[in-house]
Structure 1
Amino acid sequence: MPRAKLPTVTLPDPREHPLARRIRLAAQPDPEPARRPSFRRAIAELGGIADPLRRPFRRIAVERAKNPAIVLVLPGFATRPAKMRYLAQHLERAGHTAKQWGLGWNWGVDPGDLAQLEKRLQQICARYDSKIVLLGWSLGGLYARELAKRHPDCIAKVITMGTPFSGSPRDNNVWRVYQFIAGHRVDLPPIEADLAAKPPVETVAFWSPMDGAIAPRSAAGRPGERDRAHALRCTHIGFAQSPEAIRAILAELDRAPAAD
């Protein structure tokens, strides 16, 4: 399986209209055989839309955190912090401090956003005089891993949820949509990075065989690309809102820090 290494930054042709470029990117032939969730799994993701209607009728038991942490929460592609507010509320109930990424919607890999995130990370680290846990959902997890590579002294742990860091960047059902919205190929984003390379801090990957967006192997990774991988039984949307995912994240935050 090829490593998900992103090549050198390439600039778009200034003569091509932006909309025409996005349409061309969305219609690009698949250059390689990729492992993707089945159509049935993808359709099942629609069930997550109704989750807010079920929330008033359930309560997730939350115990007091053994190791209260400062957690920077990074939203997934085409979502914003509000989509992760439910998860963040449970982190706060347990005694953790949940911080938003401060950038609004996540519309794809952007060097300006990465620079802003680096500043925010350093500000939070300095304000609390503490290392930070990065909790990233899907594309937010890619940002988390790259931030940890750039500023390992600020990071206590990286936790990713359904994040496609291993294998081909097309091992998912959303790469064409991503290319149309972001305006660049998934394998040629505007930053240089080796996605599969493990950050020099404790790195934990949550994945699900029921994920309808990201191939499970891509989100689980291989030994050496993360320290541990945990399987959940939730949809891709469920990583940010299902009771199982919330309990699993709280349990992971309560684990004793890995020895240096």
Structure 2
Amino acid sequence: MSTATHPEIAPPSRLLLLGEVRALWETGAGIAMWPLLQLTPRGDGHPVLVLPGLVASDSSTGILRRYLKSRGYDAHGWGLGRNLGPREGVERGMVALLQKLNDESGQKVSVVGWSLGGVYARMLATAHPHLVRNVITLGSPFSGSPRSTNAWRVYEGVSGQSAEDPKRMKHVSPTPPVPTTSIFSRTDGVVAWQCSVEKNGPQAENIEVIASHIGLGAHPAVLYALADRLAQPEDDWKPFNRTLLGPLVYPDPLRKGR
């Protein structure tokens, strides 16, 4: 793919990739801070669909979903096994589950997607905005070149498809027509952070955290932000207030430089 289509963004360095071992500490921190995280606003019980990242399954989002249930949400995994890319039946299965959750609850569904799961979340919201309340992505590469990640070879190996997929990306790159939040980290060792930056708009925002890619689903700063975003009234969405906990927890996502 030419650089005219995708600006040249290097994938994260080997040092950042090695730094993904931080995920163990981040998971421990999330568990240790569990009592404090219970002080976040309780939800209104609406359904939340959580989509896992590449080669991951619902077990990878277990802590995240357990936390959301503790805050009063009806959180669900995707139930489609390991995420090995958009194989036959996967996209149809996600749409069917989205429709089922909407039918059973009578409410729109919030969709949280981690990495590749966030790409799916944006695709679902673009195609079915009448079913989706909001979209929150965690370290998801929805812009730029897929080769700006350290996972594109794995994607091609397990999915049997090219990482360059303009047909799907035309439904992913534009901001979905629902409230949309991108949570990303400039120290992500898998996805170049620039590929996870959303264009700010009336219902679109970025939240930066200091985290690894693999640890995003259990990082206390991410869990706090998720609870805050999901608690927004359906018809009265407001941007995240990062100043409450300060720049050491939530840096300015629009600042220049790395």
TM-score w.r.t. structure 2 length? 0.81
Aligned residue among 17, 21, 28 for 1:46? 21
Secondary structure class of the residue paired with 2:12 = coil
Task: Using CA pairs under 8 Å that are at least 6 residues apart, name the structure with larger relative contact order, 1 or 2.
Answer: 1
Are residues 1:130 and 2:107 paired? yes
User: Which whole-Å deviations, capped at 9, do the CAs of 1:72-122 have from their partners, x for residues lacking one?
Assistant: 010011100011110111111111110111101101122420011111110
5+ residue gaps in structure 2? 238-258
CA distance in 2, matches of 1:188, 1:99: 28
Residue identity matched to 2:17: A
User: How has the CA–CA distance of structure 1 residues 187 and 49 changed in structure 2, closer, same or farther, with 3 Å as cutoff?
Assistant: same
Secondary structure class of the residue paired with 1:170 = helix
CA distance in 2, matches of 1:166, 1:153: 24
CA distance in 1, matches of 2:139, 2:69: 22
Work out which of the two has the higher radius of gyration on C-alpha atoms and give 1 or 2.
Answer: 1
Q: Is the 8 A contact 1:208 1:216 kept in 2?
A: yes
Residue identity matched to 2:217: A
Q: Is the 8 A contact 2:52 2:83 kept in 1?
A: yes
User: How has the CA–CA distance of structure 1 residues 52 and 201 changed in structure 2, closer, same or farther, with 3 Å as cutoff?
Assistant: closer
Q: Is the 8 A contact 2:61 2:77 kept in 1?
A: no
* Aligned residue in 1 for 2:211: 234
Q: Is the 8 A contact 1:71 1:99 kept in 2?
A: yes
TM-score w.r.t. structure 1 length? 0.81
* Aligned residue in 1 for 2:135: 158
* Aligned residue in 1 for 2:9: 34
Aligned residue among 164, 167, 170 for 2:144? 167
Alignment of 1:156-235 (within 5 A): 156-188=133-165, 192-194=168-170, 195-223=172-200, 227-235=204-212
CA distance in 2, matches of 1:258, 1:101: 26
* Aligned residue in 2 for 1:108: 85
Residue identity matched to 2:10: R
**What is the Cα deviation at residue 55 of structure 1?**
6.6
User: How has the CA–CA distance of structure 1 residues 165 and 258 changed in structure 2, closer, same or farther, with 3 Å as cutoff?
Assistant: farther
* Aligned residue in 2 for 1:248: 225
CA distance in 1, matches of 2:214, 2:157: 21
Alpha-carbon RMSD: 2.5
Q: Which moved more, 1:54-63 or 1:135-144?
A: 54-63
Count of aligned pairs between the two proteins: 232
